[in-house]
Amino acid sequence: MHDDRNLVEGRLKRVLDERIRPAVYPESMPLDVAVWHAPGEPVPVAEGLAGAPEPIEVGARWGAPWGTSWFRVTGTVPQAWAGRTVEALLDLGFDENMPGFQCEGLVYRPDGTPVKGLNPRNQWVRIGAPVEGGEEVRLHIEAASNPVILDYHPFLPTQLGDKETAGSEPQYTLTRMDLAVFDETVWQLVIDLEVLGELMAELPVESARRWEILRAVEKALDAIDLQDVGGTAAQARARLETVLSEPAVPSAHRISAVGHAHIDSAWLWPLRETVRKVARTTANMTALIEDEPEFVFAMSQAQQWAWVKEYRPEVWARVKKAVADGRFVPAGGMWVESDTNMPGSEAMARQFVHGKRFFLDEFGIENDEAWLPDTFGFAAGLPQIIKAAGSKWLLTQKISWSQTNKFPHHTFQWEGIDGTRIFTHFPPVDTYNCSMKGSEIAHAARNFKDKGVARHSLAPTGWGDGGGGTTREMVAKAARLRNLEGSAIVEWETPGEFFAKAETEFPNAPVWVGELYLELHRATLTSQAKTKQGNRRSEHLLREAELWAATAAVRTGLPYPYEELDRIWKTVLLHQFHDILPGSSIAWVHREARATYDRLAAELNDIIDAAQHALTGEGTTEFVFNSAPHSREGVPAGGARTPEPVGETALAPRLTGGFTLDNGLLRVEIDATGLVVSAYDIDADRETVAPGHAANLLQLHPDFPNMWDAWDVDEFYRNTVTALTGVDEITAGEDGESVRIVRSFGGSRVTQVLSLAPGERRLEIATEVDWHETEKFLKLAFPLDVHAERYASETQFGHFHRPTHTNTSWEAAKFEACNHRFVHVAEPGWGVAIVNDSTYGHDVTRSVRDTDSGTTTTVRVSLLRAPRFPDPETDQGVHRFRHALVPGAGIGDAVREGWRINLPERRVTGARDVAPLVSVDRDAVVVSAVKLADDGSGDVVVRFHEAHGGRARATLTVGFACASVTVTDLLERPLAETAPPQLDGDRVAVRLRPFELVTLRFVRAQ
């Protein structure tokens, strides 16, 4: 037989595009349209419905950037359409290629009842099926004219990302506002032909099945009268029945389709717009659930559910019903789909606490899975946190974006730093916006790396980010793929149903140990420095507020601020969303974030101040409060007293220019250009700075990645570097114990103050940058005379080691990585820590010197970037950072100094010391939270972990009368499988494995 595939396939495409799809709506008539443009920000629904609209014609421009327009469409169903299905087709000016990134609408009835969302791939509203004829149609559309930020030529700088700079030029053209007859038989024919055509294209040319489909499609096309598609559609469908009814082979890959709409809680739109995106999508999905009995939809991010409850109660009622029916499924158990690299230990724990508690309180549902399809890599401490929250599974997708190495598994056990393993799935469909295309389904089956031992994968199905979620077309395609020869088997299932099957099927899944590093989007560790600083400082202020408020409540009866702390935690957690904290959102988002962090800091400082004054009482003696988990200057951890005197630091000029700082433990030489040429550990009798190098070296790189400007830094940035050694001035500080250095470069200015802490091996570096560069990357370098094949960086509830070498492509790809409060490099017996108060990105490299064959290990801290998309003014302005170089540091010193720099002492006048509410007798055991139980019982909750990476025995002492103690999960619920610890008066003995996390709940004696 002649090979006529191209002929038939070309015919199928043209007939579908030009004849069959247009025949889905064979008759139509225009609706009358009027519009009212809301002034300023969005208005309540009642106000929008009551607005005074003016006529507008199809073809007219509408919608200033970030505006809201209320359209009213009216008309009458013709009597001639009686007995037929009628829909309204409402095209606001959509581009079907950009679902989720442009204008959107939510349709209401005149009484304010929401109907469904309007999106580029979902423009219809059902009027009647069938209609009687003569029905009056009146609909209202709340239309958001969100500008297109990520256009066909992406990553171009734009002022549209903030309403303050976006202007007022209309963004869209009203395209279609019609009533139309919907021919379901033709629509079903379209789905038949799409499914078969897409499947056919994925089958091998030599496959008999491909030719069977080709011949069946050809016969169906022959049956269609192109001048009467509606009249011949049923006949065409009949010719496809045989090929559509052939069952899948027994070994076919099985896909659990989960209705899904990944909605970024902020990104190319502000937070307030996400509230409306979620309302549109949930209205869409509850409507689809009513129409499609097998469809199941899952939505993550408890914050988004809370928004629906608060702002759209009429949609919330529909959501609650669908949840009760088991069709609308809470997923993930987190407050938002957060970044997981940068959030601190407690914050990562609280993502699960607040997320899971919301779903438990509202629906009595507990999530067993963490759902993070779009997060930019996963910290190695996360498995233990997932387990401690009472969950056991993880889903992610983003690892498929890695540039260099292909991840070797799709279903695996992920092992964290403490040994906890979490059953993890990475969908082989390689998208979290699956649309049930044949190419997607075939790719999932081909791509699945666990063939032979497993057969199940998951496909998150639906348009996200305001694209409206799953469509009826996707559901129809899935129905045909449920058991179709040549295809994977597709079935709608909940995430829990999928994971239960997959785990049972694959009990011996392979193990991946350590972080799930995304080989992309590395610059998100640095972009938008003030957002990152706001997060770090909020986390530590919350620690202080909980600690001192709990102490004051127990000791003085001061009311504990439950509601305030709950609200503030949720706000901080929201801003850890994976496009806010990483710095990849529009200017509007980060402008608001900065203001929010300032407001939260003021509130938290008020809580702290009130508690500390209640504890010390009225008096004139100055007390130092120590919020850190280690004692310092004689002040116990979690206590307050008058500090003990410490030594002094001597400052002297150098003969060759510059200064020497010496406190008897560390001698630091600062040359005439302000560089640290020596940091000598006197006790260890060794130098910190590598020979021939200088530390505290600012380095400037060009920074213009190939794409994803705010997200990416490409490795070639290292090819060009400028050392900022020019100095405007170097002087002794006013305190006589520090050195002040000023530099200028480009349009920017840097002021640094270097000081040597008395009695400590710690060189403190305060850096102020007035930053006015564009597409540049600023680093702070510390070349260390340390031979280290690996280094440690802090992560949640511990630290993680990475190699300093680049033996393989896996190590080479980690040229920018994340740390929390410290990076530590060491050789046996001696090490160095670099600690920080607000930076995350860093790199560590090693080289061998020609002069002495010694190894130089260089740690570089990432300070600032200047990408122009999506915020063209990223990081312009003044920034302040604090770092410290700690020679002779072991891991314990790195942990202690990291806490110290993030929790500076507070001085309060009063009348009495404050004894710690909780104390631990081993530095390796770090208390991360002291608080009152969330249920208002007055119980004291203490969370701690082993921080040095070894086994630890410790005694925990409480400073209050205690009746009993229980080991709990993160939600403060008793762990039935764990024996309660023995309470010996006010003491509890604990044994911890490396990095083990424990939460204890103490019931106070009455």
Which residues are known to be catalytic? 374
Cα angle 887-891-896, degrees, rounded to a multiple of 5: 80
Q: Which residues contact 227 (CB under 8 A, 6 or more apart)?
A: none
CA 577/CA 583 separation, integer angstroms: 10
Count CB-CB contacts under 10 A for residue 474: 24
Residue 620's φ and ψ, nearest 5 degrees, are -115, 0
Written as one letter, the residue type at 456 is H
Residue 12's φ and ψ, nearest 5 degrees, are -60, -45
Name the H helices within 241-301: 241-245, 271-291
Q: Which residue has the tokens 């809580």?
A: 607
Q: Which residues contact 393 (CB under 8 A, 6 or more apart)?
A: 368, 369, 370, 422, 423, 424, 425, 495, 499, 503
Q: Is the dihedral of CA 560, 795, 830, 993 positive or negative?
A: positive
Q: Which residue has the tokens 């019931």?
A: 1003
CA 656/CA 920 separation, integer angstroms: 48
Q: Which residue has the tokens 């407050």?
A: 335
Name the H helices within 510-654: 529-556, 562-574, 587-616
For residue 690, the 8-state DSSP code is P
CA 611/CA 609 separation, integer angstroms: 6
With CA atoms as reference, report the closest residue to 820 among 798, 840, 844, 802.
840
CA 408/CA 373 separation, integer angstroms: 17
In the three-class reduction of DSSP (H, G, I as helix; E, B as strand; rest coil), residue 810 is classed as helix
For residue 63, the 8-state DSSP code is -
**Residues 90 and 123: beta-carbon distance below 8 Å:** yes
For residue 320, CA distances in Å to 84, 325, 331, 923 come to 32, 9, 14, 48
Q: Which residue has the tokens 């008897």?
A: 664
CA 648/CA 155 separation, integer angstroms: 53
Q: What are the start-end ranges of the E strands in 307-441?
A: 328-330, 369-372, 393-396, 411-415, 421-425
CA 988/CA 999 separation, integer angstroms: 13
CA 791/CA 793 separation, integer angstroms: 7
Q: Which residues contact 785 (CB under 8 A, 6 or more apart)?
A: 686, 687, 688, 689, 690, 691, 854, 855, 856
CA 393/CA 370 separation, integer angstroms: 6
CA 145/CA 93 separation, integer angstroms: 10
Residue 675's φ and ψ, nearest 5 degrees, are -95, 145
Q: Which residues contact 736 (CB under 8 A, 6 or more apart)?
A: 651
Written as one letter, the residue type at 158 is T
3-state helix, strand, coil in the chain (%, to 5): 30, 30, 40
Name the H helices within 416-511: 438-447, 472-480, 495-505
Q: Which residues contact 991 (CB under 8 A, 6 or more apart)?
A: 951, 952, 953
Provide the CB-side half-sphere exposure for 524 (13 A, CA).
28
CA 599/CA 606 separation, integer angstroms: 11
In the three-class reduction of DSSP (H, G, I as helix; E, B as strand; rest coil), residue 515 is classed as coil
